[in-house]
Amino acid sequence: MVEVGDVSDQEAITAITDGVAAQHGRLDVIVLNTGIAALVS
């Protein structure tokens, strides 16, 4: 089951995306690479 959180808190959303980017790289690149992987699979 997937739960959706409150997305109205922009500061919290920014902190989450910044944390993901710090650990895994830029979010747009991650999304692009995931899309490419889905196309070639």
pLDDT tens track for 3-23: 666 778 888 888 888 888 888
Determine the Cα–Cα distance for residues 30 and 35; give it in Å rounded to an integer.
Answer: 9
The string over 1-37, giving b where at least 16 C-beta atoms fall within 10 Å of a residue's C-beta and e elsewhere, is: eeeeeeeeeeeeeeeeeeeeeeeeeeeeeeeeeeeee
Q: What is the pTM of this model?
A: 0.48
Q: How much is the average pLDDT of 28-40?
A: 86
